[in-house]
Each structure stands twice: as C-alpha cells, then as structure tokens.
Structure 1
Amino acid sequence: MGLVKRTKENLKKCLCIKCPSYAAVCKVKSIPDNLVHMLKKDIETVEHMEGLFCAFGKSKCITREKGCICPECEVYSENNLSKMYFCLEERGK
C-alpha cells in the first residue's frame, strides 16, 4: 500500500515517467495498462499502476537504481515524503 492518495490530480503531478530509473522498456510495456487506468473516472480502486509509485507501490518492471527524482516531485513535497526509490521498494528506501 502506498503513502499517497491514488487520485488523478496526483497522477497529473507525478514525475515518475521522467525518472532515469524508469527504463524505456518499462515505459513501453506499461503504456496500455496505464492508459486504461487513466481513462477511468476513479483510480482510487486500481490495484497497481506503473507510475505514481509512492501511491501504488513498487514497480513490477524497474529493477535498477539509475537515479531518483522523487524529491523534485510536487506529490513528494505535498505529502511530506522523505524516502526515495518508491519504484524499487514498498514505502521507499
């Protein structure tokens, strides 16, 4: 379970897609599912998304630390988060 509310507003602010750890292969693999979830009226009940990892938990695709931009994200600061790499570890590390 993530630390942040699963809302479209938070998803719009999310920088995960720009993160260097989010490899191009992972981005391409996640596009179909993420688009379906984004079109839903309410993403609060979505079990997992490849993005907004501080809300949806660690990635099922990202496997290596290549840099973390979590502290630059508006969602991160608005929710007073202090850890990083939410994509690699539940609740960050």
Structure 2
Amino acid sequence: MGNVEKNKDNLSKCICIKCPSYSFACKVKAIPESAMNILKGDIAKAEHMEGLFCAFGKSKCIEEQKGCICQDCEVYKENGLNKMYFCF
C-alpha cells in the first residue's frame, strides 16, 4: 500500500465528498475545519481533515458504511492503494 501525501493536488483529485457513506450532515459539519485548513495553504500540516481519508485517516463523522468509491479515485490508483473504507 502506498503513502498518500497530504497536498492540494491530491485533495483536488479526491472524490471522498461524492461517497455514499459521507452524508450531507458530515459535509456541512466539516466545512469550517476544511476551509480553515485550505486557507492556511499547506494542508500537510493539518492533523485531520474530513476528506482525503486515505491520507488523513478515519472520519470523525461517518457512522455507517453505505458504499465505497475509493477504487474509482485517481488518488487511490496513483498511490497503489488496495483497501477500501479509509473513512472507517
């Protein structure tokens, strides 16, 4: 399994926000923290973000697996990842 860098290029390719497990409520709840991290410029220094879960780890919001689209993501493919549900 690859090591995914926390950077804006990977974030721009990330499809976590389209995932069926990532509910609308989670997306809304994540806006302030995610916006602050993006505005700071260097997301590599962020400890956690709701999104790009293959780099940042488990979601603090997602409570139920409702489907996974990781294998459709360019970040997943480019980094040789082989598991699913990074958000869990």
The question of a shared fold, defined as TM-score above 0.5 by the shorter chain, is answered with yes
TM-score (normalizing by structure 2): 0.95
Query: What's the counterpart of residue 27 of structure 1?
Result: 27
**Root-mean-square deviation over aligned CA pairs:** 1.2
Q: Structure 1: which 4+ aligned runs deviate by more than 2 Å?
A: none
Query: What's the counterpart of residue 41 of structure 1?
Result: 41
Unpaired runs of at least 5, structure 1: 89-93
- Aligned-partner SS, 1:44: helix
Unpaired runs of at least 5, structure 2: none
Deviation at 1:60, TM superposition (A): 0.3
How many percent identity over aligned positions? 65
- Aligned-partner SS, 1:48: coil
Partner Cα separation in structure 2 for residue 66 and residue 22 of structure 1: 8
TM-score (normalizing by structure 1): 0.90
Kindly indicate which of the two structures has a greater share of residues assigned to helix.
Answer: 2
Query: What's the counterpart of residue 51 of structure 1?
Result: 51
